[in-house]
Amino acid sequence: MAQKIVAGNWKMNLKLDEAIRLVEVLKINHIESDVRVVLFPPSVYIDTLSHRLDDHIELGVQNFHAEAKGAYTGELAINQIKSVGANIGLIGHSERRAYFAETNDILKLKVDAAVSQEFQFIFCCGEPLMIREAGEELDFVKMQLEESLFHLSKDEMLDRIIAYEPVWAIGTGKTASAEQAESMHRAIRTWLHEKYDEETAQSVSLLYGGSCNHENARELFSCPNVDGGLIGVASLKSEVFCEIIKSY
């Protein structure tokens, strides 16, 4: 059965003192449940925050390099990330694809690096507005998955995490309707079944990302194939983020 997950992607926001205050409030307000909670702060904060969080909240990294080491100025290797307390990373976020020219081939290398180094990840996929308006969103997202993720074996795919983030709904205030979100999540689950089997399909957590907040989380999370959310701006306020977690 797919795990319920609520993840917060802070992107390039918050100063260190603000980040510390946020996690301290999260610790106080977070109610223990079967929902897995993961924070993706700016990487320079991971070591400090790892000493302040309890076992109920995990830390992840927003980006990492596919190589284990080398002359890649400004990049982070998986073993470095693990050494400061993070156990999971984002792969394929739309902003990395758009602003840093991360292609499906590059993302495939990151997937392989994570698998080989036993590093968990959330694989992000989603379509831009013009693809949605052309009615080609299913073909577009399926291509992203096939070219970067679906080369994994069944054993490697079990219990993975995929986040569907319609690009037109990220940071815009627009949100896919519950029907739109469920339609894409159901399609992804179907593709997993066709590529692998029902066991694999049901083990993969499918998250919705794209202006999910405390006002719409309950409706989105009630969809049969939505297993949680990858939260952006709403994760920057501890009280709001806690309300989203409690939406399950």
Instruction: Give the residue numbers annotated as catalytic, written as ranges.
Output: 93, 165
Which residue(s) pair with 121 in the sheet? 89
Measured CA to CA in angstroms, residue 129 lies from 68, 136, 163 at distances of: 36, 10, 17
> Number of H helices and number of E strands within the chain?
12, 8
The SS3 of residue 9 is strand
Measured CA to CA in angstroms, residue 228 lies from 13, 117, 125, 138, 185 at distances of: 22, 26, 15, 20, 11
> Which among 141, 136, 63, 59 is positioned nearest to 95, based on CA atoms?
63
Contact 221, 229 (CB under 8 A): yes
Instruction: Report the C-alpha gap between 132 and 138 in whole angstroms.
Output: 9
Q: What is the CA radius of gyration of the chain?
A: 17
The SS3 of residue 134 is coil
